[in-house]
Copies of this chain bind each other. A is one copy, B any other.
Amino acid sequence: MTPLEEHTQKRAALINADRAFRVDHTRLPHSMELCADKIARRIRTEEATTVWGVEHENVPHPFPGMEFLTGKAIISSTRLFGIIRKMPKGALLHAHLDLTVDPYTLLHFALRYPSFHIRSSEVITSSNISSIVPEIRPLAPDFPAEASSLTDPSYPPMSWVPFSRARERFDETFGGPEGFDRWVTGYMSINPSAAYVTHNNNIRIWDKFRSAALLNMNIVYYTPLWRQYIRQFLEDIAADGILYVEVRINFTRRFMVGADGKMDVPHIEWLKIFKQVVDNFKQEREDFFDAKVIYTVIRDCDAAGLEEHLEDCLVMKKEFPDTIVGFDLVGDENILIPLKDYLEPLLQFKERQKHEGVSIPYIFHAGETCGDGTKADENLYDAILLGTKRIGHGFSLVKHPKLMQICREQGIALEVCPISNEILRLTASMPMHPLPILLNHGVPVALSSDDPAIFQNIGLSYDFYQVVVASEVTGLLTLAHLARDSITYSMLEGAEKVKLMQMWEDRWFKFLLELVSSEKGQN
């Protein structure tokens, strides 16, 4: 053997050893999978030049995996995105229900209810329109309007205007009703200039996030709209090929606003409606399997407050044993309370569950941070020791060799949210994202969308796309394995899980057949 031959042989063996833990390395693909993967790789390579290698109007110097909010229109126009859009996605394991529906749709839902009102701290003028965030709330049906236009110079600050009237009378200077829509929805999501210029770091962008989240939530938590909202969420994800979801509902508010404008609708009602809508949807749609709920609460209460929530969660679990599948604490880990400070109630709750004969596994957010050894980073240790079944984000897990090993060996999957991480400035673009580190270390991963209302990544296709264009190793087949893993690491058990997996495999087979035959037709 010549030295060159020897090198070549050793090289292949080394690459093999290096990728041994990868999800796409250990499983044997069938020939149609290989063929589809090859087609997708070919199109990706072509579009790297034809789409990402040329200048676009308003998008100078694009590149594959670029900032999502800037590149979204280009992404949507690609052939590769068209393929991914059709692919069955498996389970969506990390999404916050109150931030999942497109703001424009949500705004138009609100317009149907006369209860919704809007107000602002000043008359809206051209000089403050891009800085004053309005407040929107459902009030009592007989609430007397306090003003009729936010843009009228006579508008008394902080007076409530009926929502639809405020829209109709939004001054023409600002685009009239359509201008009103742009104005309001602009504050309900994060725009490129906030993410990539004015608030371009992980500390600052959270200000925008919180403000946008609050606007959305104040509309969502209204019983008459809640029903419609959940239906819309299910339609959106089903249309994107998502078969099953374990959605996080934020139960921090004790009550939702009811049709009478009173904030008195308890948690149990929220879930009753959720279950009705899901059951109806399942009956109507053969292409959707189910939706379950992870009970979440914002990590800013004290230990006693958390105990109350855990108790509430237990009550709900007993009432809806098939719906509640986990418990989680949410919010900016960099500034809010770490798991370490909640150990006593969280450990007690595990004992309590044994005693009550129920199982509400922890599915904790942890390590959603660039910090090294900070409280957000160290949440990973506590989450794992508390027996978390999956980890929400786990962005900083890659720093921890022992924890990566534990996740691999004990099957603790990471709910990785690529676009969320990028917009919240944990990574500047997808090529910098640590996902390849996780994949190569054999950490199980389920790709997720997190808060699509705010990030504008409804479904999973955008996240799948961003992942696959930022790597030469990852391909369509890798995405398929990640979709399979989203089912494997769901909280479903036994026959249910088998059934969903079979449903996915059937859809995947149909998808492959269509892709391969349509490509044959083209060549």
Contacts and interface: CB of A to CB of B under 8 A. Distances in A.
Interface of A: 3-4, 7-8, 10-11, 14-15, 17-18, 20-21, 61, 63, 66, 201-204, 343-344, 347-348, 350-351, 370-374, 377-378, 381-382, 384-386, 398-403, 425-429, 431-432, 434, 436-437, 440-442, 470-474
A60 to B, nearest CB: 9
A217 to B, nearest CB: 26
A344 B4 contact: yes
B401 A18 contact: yes
B351 A472 contact: no
Contacts of A344: 4
A257 to B, nearest CB: 36
A428 to B, nearest CB: 4
A-B pairs with lowest CB-CB distance, top 9: A373-B472, A373-B473, A370-B431, A428-B428, A372-B471, A18-B402, A3-B347, A372-B436, A17-B402
A386 B436 CA distance: 25
A201 B64 CA distance: 12
10 contacts: A3-B351, A7-B382, A8-B343, A10-B385, A14-B402, A18-B381, A371-B431, A372-B436, A372-B471, A373-B473
How many protomers of this protein does the assembly include?
A: 2
Pick from A7, A61, A427 the residue with the most CB of B within 10 Å. Answer: A7
A492 to B, nearest CB: 29
A303 to B, nearest CB: 12
B400 A440 contact: yes
| Interface SS of chain A | helix
Contacts of A472: 371-374, 377
Contacts of A351: 3
Contacts of A202: 431
Contacts of A17: 402
B436 A399 contact: yes
A343 B4 contact: yes
Contact of A343 (B7, B204, B440): B7
Given A382-B11, A471-B373, A474-B372, A432 B428 contact: yes
A339 to B, nearest CB: 10
A496 to B, nearest CB: 32
Nearest to A203: B63
Contact of A372 (B21, B402, B470): B470
Contacts of A431: 202, 370-372
A90 to B, nearest CB: 22
A402 B347 CA distance: 37
A14 B201 contact: no
A71 to B, nearest CB: 12
Contacts of A350: 3
Contact of A204 (B61, B374, B474): B61
Contacts of A66: 201
Contacts of A348: 3
A18 B348 CA distance: 26
A443 to B, nearest CB: 10
B474 A381 contact: no
Nearest to A396: B436
Contacts of A377: 472
A432 B440 contact: no
A430 B191 CA distance: 25
B432 A385 contact: no
Of A400, A441, A474, most buried by chain B (CB within 10 Å of CB) is A400
A347 B401 contact: no
A257 B429 CA distance: 43
